[in-house]
Amino acid sequence: MALLWSKKPKAETNYSEETRKLTSSGKSAKGKVVKSEKSTAAPKAKAVALPSGHFDDAAGAIIRPHITEKSGLLSQAGTYTFQVASGANKTAVAKAVKALYKVTPVKVAVINLPAKKIFVKGRIGTVSAMKKAMVTLKKGDKIDFV
């Protein structure tokens, strides 16, 4: 077992002399508080919290097209279905469709689908919750999912 859990050689460690002298209380052997000069962690960028429905890029609201048999039949009539971000609203989805596909949405319906518990092969599992949007386009506009 000693071969599997061997220590690294001293040459590979990146500790300075000051940090080696630190005890568990953060003081040096002489009792003085020692601060290390170099910080290995980079400063974190501040995350800007956007209000619900606001996305930093126009296409951020749409995750992917939701392609099923029912959505395929609806797409022939001009209504397309997309899986959208949980914070997306109707105006954000309409802007995203216009930016991504260069078509004009006339109507947007947003549907919140809750998580479901399922029972498969003797085990309990869950189907993830998701939010989808049904977008009706202007007559003559078409989206081609390749």
Phi and psi of 38, rounded to 5°? -105, 135
Residues 132, 99, single domain; the answer is yes
Residues 66, 127, single domain; the answer is yes
List of the chain residues with pLDDT < 70: 1-54, 56, 58
Domain that holds residue 27: 13-38
CA distance 55 to 15: 42
The per-residue pLDDT for 55 is: 72
Residues 25, 73, single domain; the answer is no
Does residue 1 sit within a domain?
no
Does residue 132 sit within a domain?
yes
Residues 127, 88, single domain; the answer is yes
pTM above 0.85, yes or no: no
Number of domains in the chain: 2
Q: What CATH number should be reported for the domain holding residue 124?
A: 3.30.70.330
Residues 77, 33, single domain; the answer is no
Residues 90, 128, single domain; the answer is yes
Does residue 143 sit within a domain?
no
Residues 22, 62, single domain; the answer is no
Residues 31, 83, single domain; the answer is no
User: What CA–CA distances, in Å, run from 64 to 29, 51, 75, 91, 136?
Assistant: 59, 22, 15, 17, 16
User: What CA–CA distances, in Å, run from 19 to 15, 52, 111?
Assistant: 6, 45, 56
Residues 64, 103, single domain; the answer is yes
The per-residue pLDDT for 146 is: 72
Helix (H, G, I), strand (E, B) or coil at 82: strand
CA distance 134 to 137: 10
The per-residue pLDDT for 120 is: 92
CA distance 114 to 95: 25
The per-residue pLDDT for 130 is: 95
Does residue 75 sit within a domain?
yes
